[in-house]
Amino acid sequence: MDLKGTWLCMKYEIPEMLKQGKGVIINCASVAGLVGFEGLPAYVASKHGVVGLTKTTALECAKLGIRVNVVCPGVIQTPMIDRLTHKKKENIEQFQGLEPIGRFGLPEEIANTVVWMCSDEASFVTGHAMAVDGGFVAK
C-alpha cells in the first residue's frame, strides 16, 4: 500500500492498524481549525490543515476499518493559558469571556472526548471535527 500523500503524517499508524484490521486515529487541532482568528494566519492555516488532512484520510481509510477524527478544543486551562494571561485576573476574565459557557475547559474534558471517539460507542463517527469549546463556534 502506498502511504504517500495524505497519509504521510500517519504513515506509521496506518500500517499497524491494517495488520490488526481496524483502528482509530484522533488528531488534535483547535477551534482555530473551524473558524478564523484575526492576527493568527499561520496558526489558523495550520489547524485548518489538520482538519482537512483528517477528513481526507478518513475517507481514504473508511472501508479499511480505520476511523479518523479530529478534536478541536476551545480555550483549555493549561500552562499555555497561564503564560498568555500571566495569571492576571483581567487577562483571565478576557479569555474566559471568549467561551459562551463562561469558563475555561479542562484537560480532562478533552481527554474524555478522545476516549469516547476511540470507543465502540463512536463506531459510526469518522471524518468528524469535534469542537469541544464551551459553545465558541456556535456563536
Domains annotated for the chain, with CATH where assigned, are 24-134 (3.40.50.720)
Residues 131, 110 contacting (CB under 8 angstroms): no
C-alpha to C-alpha distances, 47 to 24, 62, 90, 102, 120, nearest whole angstrom? 20, 22, 28, 24, 27
Does residue 107 have a pLDDT over 90? Answer: yes
Query: What would the grid cell of residue 109 be?
Result: 474534558
Side chain identity at residue 122, one-letter code: A
* Residue 95: pLDDT band with limits 50, 70, 90: confident
Q: Which residues contact 96 (CB under 8 A, 6 or more apart)?
A: 75, 102, 103, 104
Q: Which residues are catalytic?
A: 43
Residue 97, pLDDT score: 86
- The lowest-confidence range among 6-10, 22-26, 35-39, 66-70 is 6-10
Residue 27, pLDDT score: 96
* Residue 7: pLDDT band with limits 50, 70, 90: low
pTM of the full structure = 0.90
